[in-house]
Each structure stands twice: as structure tokens, then as C-alpha cells.
């Protein structure tokens, strides 16, 4: 087997979750790497959309920011930001939204706003940006995040964007008709919501990962599906394409 | 009709203490040169708004120019958090800035409503989001036709909009391309506007009939400031100075290094310095 890092495993697993006919709302960081890896491997026709207004973009290197020129230059077209949020996101044209965050709970609710009290913050984070509406308007949501006790918490300090709320039918009770978080892809495992409780449940462990590692990195009592599989390790081609993408990106951002 | 002015005059005439002002730009075309002039002129008690406040808002806040900030994502794009903004919120230095926080969809809709002359924006948003608890300017209304509950926020109608664009022509019409963000909406929503441009040309030549152009009579003041978006970028002119964004994280980490940097790079400088700052980035435009 080829050697790979947990972070590479996470990106590859997230990329595999995307389909060739998906229209994907992409965030910066891990989601951006995963979406572009999908485009460069099994999903060449995937439509990638960044909230800066770039529609159908195919960056040669990963953007540092959500509005890099590379995104605009390689896009089919670039629309204004109000149009992006009104016609494309709110209009229901996005099949998958990719989110990450500072804190996540077992129902896929996310906090990117504040650690501590909102009016008296311990750490003031950037805030929601597009997330509150991405979370409710995309057909489904994939979350990708590295597992840690700091990030995977029993109770969020602030609910920036809605996942499955308090679980069960709570999402629908908020008047939201989209599916919400359907996959959580971490550096250790693949999780899916339980069909009834909507609590994230481990469905597949990445190669070499133990159940104890899962428990030690999650601030709630982690649940496991009846059949927990093993995530197929990254293939040589997936790793090669991903590493090339990162190398090109590094060279481009350090180039001048 | 837009007036062609120098930067100091444009700011002095259009932006007063206590005004509300939108310095817009979505990673691209961020009007740094104007923000620096505002700091040099020592404006106070501003209400600043922007979807993605980044370094210039960190600088305005750190220099004590800001009373209130309306925003939806406050970060150093691609790098991390805004340290001067955090110091203000967490420790009250140099002033405790009041915040009104929204989502991107809300802000984008609110500028559009402002441009359209409406009092509020209506959209499908904020469901299950906790900002509704802490921001009294987020309300819900019922669609009179379908009964669907929709979010409503007040439109954004700043006293002044500030943007950077590629070119103005001899009449003062403004041409803007690439990632255009909410700049057109912000200018049309505002009472007055200051637009800095890379260059002033006789006419635009062969641009698309659907190009984004702000007619001269919608713009108050046009100022040529080559490089005026640095360290942001201007498509077709120069690339983004990623190193400067990374450096800002260090500069802004400490009050003394911040103050010294502002003294050296803003207070002692003028708008002409921006052209030299982008000289090494021209190939990346």
C-alpha cells in the first residue's frame, strides 16, 4: 500500500463523495482541495461554484482566498455576489454544499462565529459568511473537518448554521426542506446521520484507525453503525493528482 | 457628473465624522488607498459596513476610526482571524466597536435592496441560525401569497460607498470587471461615492455591450490611484500580494508593532506609494 497522511485520506474520501453531475458550492481549504481533486479524477464535468461569483471554475492551482483571480480566469462566467446568492444558491441550483467549521456537534450544526459568549467572546471567529444559507439551500451538505476534542463538541457555543438541529425532525420543523448534512468526512472516518435520530454515526473507519481513536477525538459519546466498513485507501492515481495539485499551488503562491 | 479629484480632496469633501461608509470589494479590488487616506485624515465615529471586512477594517478599527461595523465575515482571507478587530471586541482596544452581524446572503440582498430604493430585503434565510437571537435587525415576515416565512433585513444605504475599479473614461464613467462582488449595488445604494481607478482613458474601446459600467452621473468622485487596491489585486493589472496578507497576521498580532507599521506605511505615506507596491506583481495580473 502507498503511504498517505490522514489529511490526504480525508481529502480523497471527500472527493470520492462527489459525482460528475454535481453542482458544488465550494469553501476554501479542505473542501476546495477535495472538489478540485474530484474534478481532476473521476468527475471532470463537475460544476464548481465559489461564493465570490465564479461559476463553473477550473483552477489550475488552489485559491488562497475565495476570490482569487485564478477562479475568475478559469470560470465559465462570473456573476455578481447578489446574483450568486439569489439566483444560484437560493434558487435551488446547487446539489452539494461543502462546509467546515471551528466547532461541530453530533447533529451537524456548525459554529464559525464565536468561542465563549457572543457578547463577551473568548475568541471571536470570522463569522458565518455564506454558511447560514448554504446550509439550508443546497440539496445536501457534506462536512469535512479534522477530528479533535476542541472541534467536535457536545454543545456548540453558537449555532452559526443549521444541520439537523436537535435531531429527529427538527430540521424540517425549521421550515427547511433540503436534506442537510448527509456525510461527515474526517481524517479518521466517514460518518452518516442515523436515519431516525439524525445523529452522526461512524459508517467506515479509514485504514488503520481504531474505534478508540474515534472516541478520544470526539466530545460526545461516539456511535458506530452496525456494520462499520474500512474506507478504501487512496489509490496511487488519487494521491499523485492531489500531490501535484498541492505542489503546483505551493509553487504558484510562493513563486514571486 | 463625477468629479475628477485628488484623493485627499475626494475624502475631505465626501466623508465626514459619523458617516456610514461601505468600502466594498470581494477579495478583488479592495480600496486600500482610500482607507489609508481616511486614516490619515483622522475620521472618527464611522459606521463601516462590508460583507468581508479584512485588513482595511482591521486598520480602521485599530486606529480608532470606527464606532460600529456591519458585516458578514471578518477574516484575513486565506490566512486567519483579524487581530485588531478581535482586540477591540475581546479587550476594547482602542475602542469597543459595536457590531451588527449578518450572513453573506443578507448583506448581498440588503445592498441590492438599497440600490433598488427599497426599505428592506426579503430572502429565504437564517432558518435555524443563532444570529437571529443576537441581531434585532433580522426579522421574519410572511409571504402574502404563499404564506412562506421569509427573512427580512433593513436595506443598506450608506452615506458613502468606496470602491476601486479598473478604469474610468474621460467623462468619469467607471468600468469594472472580474469578480465584481457587490460594488455596483453599493455605489447605487449610497448617497455619495468615491471610486479609485487604475487609469483614466479617453474611451473604453471594445468592451462587451453587457460590461459592468457605472455611469458618471451615479458616481461622486473619481480618483486615479494606480495600485490603489494593493495588497488586494486588480484583474488585468496586478496580482494579489499574498505575502502581505501573511505579513499582516504578524504585524497586527501586537498593539506596538501595529502602531509602528501604521505610522511608517500609512501616516507617513501618500497615495503615490501604491504604484510602487504593485510593481513586482504586474505579471500576475
Taking CB atoms and an 8 Å limit, are B131 and A113 in contact across chains? yes
Task: Judge whether A54 is closer than 8 Å to chain B, CB to CB.
Answer: yes
Taking CB atoms and an 8 Å limit, are B128 and A165 in contact across chains? yes
pLDDT band at A256 (very low <50, low <70, confident <90, very high): very low
Is pLDDT at A2 greater than 80 in this prediction?
Answer: no
For the CA atoms of A39, A82, B105, A16, the dihedral, rounded to the nearest 10 degrees, stands at -10
Task: Judge whether A126 is closer than 8 Å to chain B, CB to CB.
Answer: yes
Is pLDDT at B185 greater than 80 in this prediction?
Answer: yes
In degrees, rounded to 5, the angle at the alpha carbon of residue A217 between the alpha carbons of residues A216 and A220 is: 85
Cell digits of residue A175: 421550515
Percent of chain B at pLDDT > 90 equals 97
Kindly report the nearest CA distance between residue B9 and chain A, in angstroms. 30
Task: Judge whether A127 is closer than 8 Å to chain B, CB to CB.
Answer: yes
Q: How far apart, in whole angstroms, are the C-alpha atoms of residue B64 and residue B47?
A: 12
By Cβ distance, the residue of B86, B103, B179 closest to A78 is B179
Kindly report the nearest CA distance between residue A198 and chain B, in angstroms. 16
Is pLDDT at B65 greater than 80 in this prediction?
Answer: yes
Chain A to chain B Cβ contacts (< 8 Å): 181
Nearest CA in chain B to A170: B128
Domain covering B3-102+157-284 in this structure, CATH number:
3.40.1080.10
What pLDDT sits at residue B77? Answer: 87
Q: How far apart, in whole angstroms, are the C-alpha atoms of residue B124 and residue B126?
A: 7
Q: How far apart, in whole angstroms, are the C-alpha atoms of residue B131 and residue A244?
A: 40
Kindly report the nearest CA distance between residue A224 and chain B, in angstroms. 27
**Of residues A253 and A159, more confidently modeled:** A159
Q: Complex ipTM, two decimals?
A: 0.96
For chain B, strand residue ranges (E) read 3-4, 20-23, 46-50, 66-71, 75-76, 80-81, 98-101, 120-123, 139-142, 149-154, 160-169, 174-176, 192-201, 212-214, 221-224
Task: Judge whether A78 is closer than 8 Å to chain B, CB to CB.
Answer: yes
Kindly report the nearest CA distance between residue A5 and chain B, in angstroms. 22
Q: pLDDT tens digit string along A71-115?
A: 999 999 999 999 999 999 999 999 999 998 899 999 999 999 999
Domain chopping of chain B, boundaries: 3-102+157-284, 104-154
Taking CB atoms and an 8 Å limit, are B104 and A133 in contact across chains? yes
Taking CB atoms and an 8 Å limit, are B81 and A124 in contact across chains? yes
φ, ψ for residue A124, nearest 5 deg: -85, 115
Mapping DSSP to helix (H, G, I), strand (E, B) and coil, where does residue B93 land?
coil
Is pLDDT at A240 greater than 90 in this prediction?
Answer: yes
By Cβ distance, the residue of B131, B281, B284 closest to A128 is B131
What pLDDT sits at residue A65? Answer: 86
pTM given for the model = 0.97
Average pLDDT in the B97-123 region? 98
- Arithmetic mean of pLDDT over chain A: 95
Q: Tell me if the bond preceding B94 is cis, omega within 30° of 0.
A: yes
Average pLDDT in the B170-196 region? 98
Is pLDDT at B33 greater than 70 in this prediction?
Answer: yes
Q: How far apart, in whole angstroms, are the C-alpha atoms of residue B188 and residue A122?
A: 38
Q: pLDDT tens digit string along A33-66?
A: 999 999 999 999 999 999 999 999 999 999 988 8
Which residues of A are tagged catalytic? 51
Q: Identify whether the C-beta of residue B73 lies closer than 8 Å to the C-beta of residue B51.
A: yes
Q: How far apart, in whole angstroms, are the C-alpha atoms of residue B15 and residue B223?
A: 15
Taking CB atoms and an 8 Å limit, are B105 and A54 in contact across chains? no
Domain covering A6-188+233-254 in this structure, CATH number:
3.40.1080.10
Secondary structure of chain A in HEC code, one letter for each residue:
CCCCCHHHHHHHHHHHCCCCCCEEEECCCHHHHHHHHHHHCCCCCCEEEECCCEECCCCCCCCCCCCCHHHHHCCCEECCHHHHHHHHHHCCCCCEEEECCCEECCCCCEECCEEECCCCEEEECCCCCCHHHHHHHCCEEEEECCCCCCCECCCCCCCCECCCCCCCCHHHHCCCCCCCEEEEECCCEEEEECCCCCCEEEEEECCCCCHHHHHHCCCCCCEEEEEEEECCCCCHHHHHHHHHHHHHHHHHHHCC
Task: Write out residues 165-184 of A within 8 Å (CB-CB) of B.
Answer: 165, 171, 174-176
Give the other-Cβ count within 10 Å of A58's Cβ.
18
In degrees, rounded to 5, the angle at the alpha carbon of residue B192 between the alpha carbons of residues B189 and B198 is: 100
Strand A140-144 and strand A96-99: the pairing is parallel
Amino acid at each position: 500500500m502507498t503511504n498517505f497522511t490522514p489529511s490526504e485520506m480525508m481529502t480523497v474520501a471527500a472527493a470520492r463523495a462527489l459525482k460528475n453531475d454535481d453542482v458544488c458550492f465550494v469553501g476554501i481549504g479542505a473542501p476546495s482541495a477535495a472538489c478540485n481533486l474530484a474534478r481532476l479524477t473521476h468527475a471532470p464535468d463537475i460544476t464548481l461554484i465559489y461564493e465570490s461569483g465564479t461559476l463553473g471554475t477550473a483552477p489550475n492551482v488552489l485559491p488562497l482566498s475565495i476570490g482569487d483571480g485564478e477562479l475568475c480566469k478559469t470560470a465559465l462566467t462570473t456573476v455578481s455576489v447578489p446574483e450568486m446568492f439569489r439566483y444560484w444558491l437560493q434558487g435551488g441550483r446547487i446539489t452539494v454544499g461543502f462546509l467546515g467549521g471551528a466547532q461541530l456537534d453530533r447533529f451537524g450544526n456548525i459554529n464559525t462565529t464565536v468561542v465563549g459568549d457572543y457578547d463577551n467572546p473568548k475568541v471571536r471567529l470570522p463569522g458565518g459568511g455564506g454558511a447560514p444559507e448554504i446550509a439550508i439551500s443546497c440539496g445536501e451538505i457534506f462536512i469535512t473537518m479534522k477530528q479533535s476534542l476542541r472541534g467536535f463538541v457536545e454543545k456548540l457555543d453558537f449555532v452559526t448554521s443549521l444541520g439537523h438541529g436537535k435531531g429527529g425532525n427538527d430540521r424540517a420543523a425549521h421550515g427547511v426542506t433540503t436534506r442537510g448534512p448527509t456525510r461527515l468526512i474526517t481524517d479518521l472516518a466517514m460518518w452518516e446521520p442515523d436515519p431516525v435520530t439524525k445523529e452522526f454515526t461512524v459508517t467506515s473507519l479509514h485504514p488503520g484507525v481504531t474505534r478508540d481513536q474515534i472516541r478520544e477525538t470526539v466530545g460526545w459519546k461516539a456511535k458506530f453503525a452496525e456494520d462499520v466498513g474500512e474506507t478504501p485507501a487512496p489509490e496511487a492515481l488519487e494521491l499523485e493528482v492531489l500531490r501535484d495539485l498541492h505542489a503546483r499551488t505551493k509553487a504558484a503562491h510562493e513563486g514571486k | 457628473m463625477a468629479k475628477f479629484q485628488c484623493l485627499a480632496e475626494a475624502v475631505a469633501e465626501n466623508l465626514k465624522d459619523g458617516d456610514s461608509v461601505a468600502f466594498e470589494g470581494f477579495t478583488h479590488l479592495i480600496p486600500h488607498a482610500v482607507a489609508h487616506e481616511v486614516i490619515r485624515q483622522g475620521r472618527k465615529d464611522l459606521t463601516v459596513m462590508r460583507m468581508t471586512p479584512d485588513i482595511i477594517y482591521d486598520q480602521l478599527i485599530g486606529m480608532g476610526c470606527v464606532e460600529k461595523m456591519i458585516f458578514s465575515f471578518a477574516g484575513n482571507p486565506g490566512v486567519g482571524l483579524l487581530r485588531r478587530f478581535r482586540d477591540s471586541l475581546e479587550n476594547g482596544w482602542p475602542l469597543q466597536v459595536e457590531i451588527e452581524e449578518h450572513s453573506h446572503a443578507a448583506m448581498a440582498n440588503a445592498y441590492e435592496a438599497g440600490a433598488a430604493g427599497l426599505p428592506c430585503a426579503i430572502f429565504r434565510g437564517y432558518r435555524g441560525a443563532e444570529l437571529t437571537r443576537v441581531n434585532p435587525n433580522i426579522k421574519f415576515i410572511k409571504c402574502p401569497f404563499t404564506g412562506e416565512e421569509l427573512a427580512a433585513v433593513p436595506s443598506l444605504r450608506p452615506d458613502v460607498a468606496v470602491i476601486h475599479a479598473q478604469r474610468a473614461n474621460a467623462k468619469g464613467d467607471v468600468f469594472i470587471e472580474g469578480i465584481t462582488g457587490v460594488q455596483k449595488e453599493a455605489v447605487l445604494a449610497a448617497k455619495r461615492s468615491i471610486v479609485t481607478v487604475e487609469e483614466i482613458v479617453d474611451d473604453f474601446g471594445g468592451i462587451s455591450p453587457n460590461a459592468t459600467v457605472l455611469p458618471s452621473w451615479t458616481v461622486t468622485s473619481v480618483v486615479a490611484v494606480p495600485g490603489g487596491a494593493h495588497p488586494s489585486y486588480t484583474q488585468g493589472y496586478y496580482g494579489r500580494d499574498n505575502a502581505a496578507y501573511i505579513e499582516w497576521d504578524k504585524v497586527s498580532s501586537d498593539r506596538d508593532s501595529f502602531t509602528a507599521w501604521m505610522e511608517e506605511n500609512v501616516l507617513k505615506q501618500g497615495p503615490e506609494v501604491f504604484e510602487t507596491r504593485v510593481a513586482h506583481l504586474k505579471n500576475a495580473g
